[in-house]
Amino acid sequence: MNSSRPAMSEDLKPFELYYRGPSPNPWKVAIVLEELGLPWKFVEVQADELKKEPYLSLNPNGRVPALVDPNKSITLWESGAIIDYLIAEYDASAKLHYPRTAATLVPSYQTRCWEHFQMSGQGPYFGQKNWFSYAHPEKLPSAIERYANEIRRVTGVLDAHLAKHGTPFLVGDRATYADLMFVPYYKSVPFVIAPEIDLAEYRTFYAWLERLYARPAVAQVMGEWERQMVAALATRKSQKEEAAATAGKTE
Ligand SMILES: N[C@@H](CCC(=O)N[C@@H](CS)C(=O)NCC(=O)O)C(=O)O
């Protein structure tokens, strides 16, 4: 996907990123790979392949993403762990992180706080909102409301932090891997997860999000994400219409 790579990356074999359509977690890794100018390619996993071999040998949790780095013969899973690895091994120029040296020790660990907040506070709650809105067999308005409120709460935390510190990014003036990790779930909010929530109401937060969306690597990766999301929504709609028509015929 990348056209302008740093010289070092020309010697690298492409990373293989296992993903499944527009579901958000793999796209966090895609953004970091693209930002670092590393060569990579997507490998799509079908729903019926996730919970069995050979995929379970890549990710014992049977979910995406998994990342194979043929350059160091390593396979990793859990998006946060994958991103930690990419930053430690391939961000030598500290484009997306603060080095753990005396001068930047504090922001380096503060970045970790936001990374963990994304992994534990944004990902699972936004994911549960999606589940209870579309996939759960019963309609449970109280569960939908709880997770919608969690989206509002998490967004409020980011908004208040950015407003209080007046910095362009979560930790100072550098866009780190932690900022970038929030992008795919927020991009999914108006499309599917919670179109009823107007993210632009959180003004400082929204300016930050737009700052991230405007980065060339993010725009490139999330442009492809949007194409896939629009296609997935069209498929979902036509499957629903087909099911309704079939049900009508059999009544
Ligand atoms: N904590 C995991 C979450 C992975 C996850 O939930 N992946 C979703 C897609 S975003 C998935 O594979 N869902 C399919 C399933 O649960 O069967 C990570 O960050 O890698």
Confidence of residue 44 (pLDDT cuts 50, 70, 90): very high
Q: Is 49 in the pocket of ligand 1 (CB under 6 A)?
A: no
Q: In what order do the strands lie in the sheet with 66-69?
A: 40-44, 15-19, 66-69, 74-77
**134 CB-near residues (< 8 Å, 6+ apart):** 192
**Which pLDDT tens digit goes with each residue over 115-167?**
999 999 999 999 999 999 999 999 999 999 999 999 999 999 999 999 999 99
- pLDDT tens digits along 219-236: 999 999 999 999 999 998
pLDDT > 70 fraction of the chain, expressed in percent and rounded: 96
Six token digits for residue 159: 């908004």
Amino acid 225 reads W
Q: b or e along 47-71 (b: 16 or more beta carbons within 10 Å of the residue's beta carbon)?
A: eeebeeeebeebbeeebbbbbbbeb
| Separation of alpha carbons 56 and 225, rounded Å | 25
Domain 7-90 listed as CATH 3.40.30.10: yes
**Tokens (6 digits) for 100:** 């753990």
* pLDDT tens digits, 182-192: 999 999 999 99
56 lines ligand 1 (CB under 6 A): no
SS3 67: strand
Query: What are the pLDDT digits (tens) for 66-78?
Result: 999 999 999 999 9
Residue 75: which H helix or E strand, with range? Answer: strand 74-77
Q: Yes or no: say if 172 and 107 are a contact pair by the CB < 8 Å rule.
A: yes
Query: Does residue 81 surpass a pLDDT of 90?
Result: yes
**Percent of the residues in the chain that have a pLDDT greater than 90, as a whole number:** 90
107 lines ligand 1 (CB under 6 A): no
Q: Mind listing the pLDDT tens digit for each residue in 85-112? A: 999 999 999 999 999 999 999 999 999 9
pLDDT score of 169 more than 60: yes
Most ligand 1 atoms within 8 A of CB, residue of 63, 117, 120, 182 to mutate: 63
Q: Which residue has the tokens 């409301």?
A: 145
Q: What is the residue extent of each domain of the chain?
A: 7-90, 105-214
| CB distance 87 to 81 below 8 Å | no
pLDDT over 80 (residue 15): yes
> Quick check: CB of 63 below 6 Å from ligand 1?
yes
Question: Could you tell me if 72 and 89 are in contact, meaning their C-beta atoms sit under 8 angstroms apart?
Answer: yes
Query: Is 105-214 CATH 1.20.1050.10?
Result: yes
> CA–CA separation, 214 vs 229, rounded Å?
19
Split at pLDDT 50, 70, 90, the class of 181 is: very high
Q: Which pLDDT value is given to residue 238?
A: 92
Confidence category of residue 16, pLDDT binned at 50, 70, 90: very high
Q: Atom 2 (ligand 1): residue with closest C-alpha?
A: 78
Is the model's pLDDT at 3 over the cut of 50? no
Query: What are 40's strand-pairing partners?
Result: 15
Average pLDDT, the chain: 95
| 239 C-alpha to ligand 1 centroid (Å) | 23
- Report the DSSP beta bridge partners of residue 16: 41, 68
Q: Do domains 7-90 and 105-214 have the same CATH topology?
A: no
- What pLDDT score does 103 carry? 97
The confidence band for 249, taking pLDDT boundaries of 50, 70 and 90, is confident
Question: Mean pLDDT across the stretch 171-190?
Answer: 98
Under 8 Å between Cβ of 134 and 125: no
State the CB neighbour count (10 A cutoff) for residue 220. Answer: 17
